[in-house]
Structure 1
């Protein structure tokens, strides 16, 4: 039985979301019983909205590569595989359903948005990852989630792996402490040297300009050790920065329920996306560092205390 797959990973798929006006390369796996390639075509009588181009390259097991391009937002079509020469009467697999969504864009106001890049310029595997992020659960089964049930929390490892897992480049995990020696154990009292913060913010932005996500260390509550904050405390956490605007960063937060963001980039309509969030900074008041805004989408509020050197 033939089936349809992601071209890069050979993962089986029965449905796929297409960005508008982008060619996405997919594959149909396997030929007929005699080893001949199948006829891959739009299902007869479909409403249109997708252009299909069968590619001549030779693949294993008489498989067929093809490009699908969504040309009408909201269109739904199906791709069929028939035994060659059967006059499209002998189906050889279940159809592949394709839904065309919007033209992908960055989240409003952002100069860099690595998440939207998956839909703007990513391959089929990256678009599928993007789709799973947007359709994923709010809980620990989400592909972005750490394991909250582990006796030793793994947020640092999970946050440090997002780059290779999602964007094809390793996350920057270098770090140096940003905070001045605290005099109290209250998060609101943490202070930073403005000149250093200006340089660190510029450094983070340069990394993001290179499509490199950035892991940072944060505190999320009072009661941390002073004058040196300990990394094994239950009031510290790791998150990963994946975009920036003039005075804010976009992040992935691996803690289930920790963060959510109203996101209008990419190819879907605006929606709340779990595990995403924002951090802000005031260029004229950098002694307060990088921190969560007054209103956050999740249950956690953060102040960045360490990041790239």
Structure 2
């Protein structure tokens, strides 16, 4: 029962000082994180035109969530986002893994190469999007000019064609992110014990065999970490879509975050935007839980 003893005056002062130290962070969490989350949940059950102030707020229950799945634009956004996620995440991780494996060897100018691949990630997405819009310009752009020189007749329309706009964004995303994930995976590879490679050499394993059977299992916790953050990042895609395609052509590149933005700041329907936000949150949470369950089968600590 000593734990519940009455505190002395000096102990009470020390306790109050501790609370005062954490108060700024606590207020920040409440005002910047907790309050917006709760307010967004409340808004999800309302129809609110923010231009009319709080007088324009009308409680509609589950109507926003019911209407969502009957909305063609939302269904397109959900489908596009899932396709974007299930394409960019594996492609980016595989390429990052290969690059990290190469740079983990005795490579000339390793530091320069590493910096070159990491450079896009620390660049402004606005600048990156503008550059890629020029590169993939359908009429006379560098990429299509090269394809034409190689004899390709039906040149891709890229961001102006509904069939090629999403592949163009996927290529941009893979190029932009793989350097970042490469750095993380490379750091993991450098912590794999050399004794494991020496044992593999004694068994006669080649470079590829060592990579598959020693390196990959050795960095499986790092791969799992990259998988989680890559999945979350894939649902946060917005800047390049807003700059290049505006969700078009049609709904070809509309994703969930852009649909939230369009509902909130074009149509001033904050209730619907909040409902989509919660669908997005639950979707990301579900995918994260699924990944966490299945990681027990392939991640070794």
What's the TM-score once normalised by structure 2's chain length? 0.22
1 or 2, which has the higher helix percentage? 2
Query: Which has more radius of gyration?
Result: 2
1 or 2, which has the higher strand percentage? 1
